[in-house]
Amino acid sequence: MVNIKDVTLDEVQALIVPISENDIQEKTLEALKSSKAFSGKEGDVFVLPIVKETVKYMIYVGIGNKEALTAEGLRQAIAEGVKKAKAAKVTEVGIKLVVTDNICVGGNVKAITEAALLASYSFDEYKTKTEEEAPMKFYLVGVPAAKVERANEVLAASLKVAEGVIIARDLVNEPSNVLYPETLAEKAVEVGKAAGCEVEVFDEKQIEALGMKAFLAVGASSERKPKLIVMRYMGDADSKEVLGLVGKGLTYDTGGYSLKPTDSMKTMQSDMGGAAAVIGAMSAIAGNKVKTNVIAVVAACENVISGGSYKPGDIIGSMAGKTIEILNTDAEGRLTLADAITYAIEKEKVTRIIDLATLTGAALVALGTSTTAVVTNNEDFYKELQAAAKKSGEQFWQLPAYKEYAKMNKSTVADLKNTGGRLAGTITAGLFIGEFVQDLPWLHLDIAGTAWADSAEGYITKGGTGAPVRTLYRLVEEPCGCHHNK
């Protein structure tokens, strides 16, 4: 819960105060600086307990050079303060705004709201609780009276965006015995109903009738039958443009007959991070009634082993009519995405496409866990993504898509093979998907490194991160109307 209200430490249990390097004036801060306990530098945090009838806390967070502060820098600083407040088990927290030439009041509201809700998030659904913990309440302090009405509008929209990220995190964090194709579809229906978008779910027979042979080949081995999930939000009747969001929906991935080692399977409930992200993004977009048209498609299934599993050496079909030689059953996500993209183009008539997938380990080798790999056929579309990323603080990096890489996916016995080999794995995987986009503007986002975190950092908590929901939202949101790029 976040509200706009000027509160003092007398009214709340903790007050988070961002401090710049050049803004240390009061005696307490001077004393902290002289003792080298706190200097206001980026990343500095100091918790000052104040004992009266109860213990309260002043939490100073460093923001470095105030004039160079970005929205992402503010998010990170506030997140550190929120984590300290949570560790102190306080439930009511005031957070002071930092309005600068770079960050307007609305930019503050967005950044602080996201930081507060995402840093305080935890997934503890299955932990036994001795007592019910009260949710944290946050108050944004320092909004000028003349701007409170607009700030509340921004706050309402920001809450929906943060909620979309949390939906994605929750979906990724659910274990696969709880979240499987059928229950993922039920969650999507629930989210769509709450946000105001149409959701249609196709069963196995309907998927077969559509000719989605590649998708069915992956899902054939599981007792949990595949589901095709389609979420439609048509918020701009005057436009024929429709953005397609296609999310990889492997609710669990053993690797099939190309079996993963046990350690690599421990977090494979996260292999539907792309699906979670598009469902979370649809929640935010539809919930805020953004003037745009977006259709999300998720081909949800499990990749396990049975007598009916597809095998290395098989040749399978696809909805697009292309044949595919299977060299590795653990390169399954691209098969489901190929059919999901074909469906989005041919049946839903999308005009440009973003696919999101925890697709390759090679993405982690190349870019680590902080940056999403991008393969695209359209530079203007990529520039739009980078402009949105500048606002969200999420990071993306374009990989080359030279024709030599595409040739690595060609088969001698079929139209394509489902792996181009060990070299340039993220690129060849992306370009395999690119074979099915029919020359529409397309972005492939490999979120294998960014959709899951093994440890907490900033407003990213351990487990599902919800990346890149905020960027997808900011790609389609309407301009805020101020001159700040926030």
311 is catalytic: no
Catalytic residue among 33, 137, 260, 352: 260
How many CA atoms lie within 13 Å of 38's alpha carbon, on the beta-carbon side?
Answer: 26
DSSP, collapsed to helix, strand or coil, labels residue 463 as: strand
Q: Which residues does 376 contact at the CB level (< 8 Å), separation at least 6?
A: 382, 398, 401, 442, 443, 444
- Does the N-terminal peptide bond of residue 135 adopt cis geometry, omega within 30 degrees of 0? no
Phi, psi dihedrals of residue 318, rounded to the nearest 5°: -155, 165
Cβ atoms 470, 114 nearer than 8 A: yes
3-class SS of residue 85: helix
Which one from 160, 334, 391, 474 is the annotated catalytic residue?
334
**Which ranges constitute the DSSP H helices of 21-134?**
27-34, 71-87, 105-119
Strands 452-453 and 463-464, bridge-based pairing: antiparallel
Q: How far apart are CA 6 and CA 212, in angstroms?
A: 56
Q: How far apart are the C-alpha atoms of 51 and 54, rounded to whole Å?
A: 6
In this structure, what are the phi and psi dihedrals at residue 478, rounded to the nearest 5 degrees?
Answer: -80, 150
Query: Strands across the sheet with 395-398, in order?
Result: 198-202, 227-234, 293-303, 243-253, 352-357, 442-446, 371-376, 395-398
Q: Is 150 a catalytic residue?
A: no
Count the residues in the chain: 486
Give the residue numbers marked as catalytic.
Answer: 260, 334
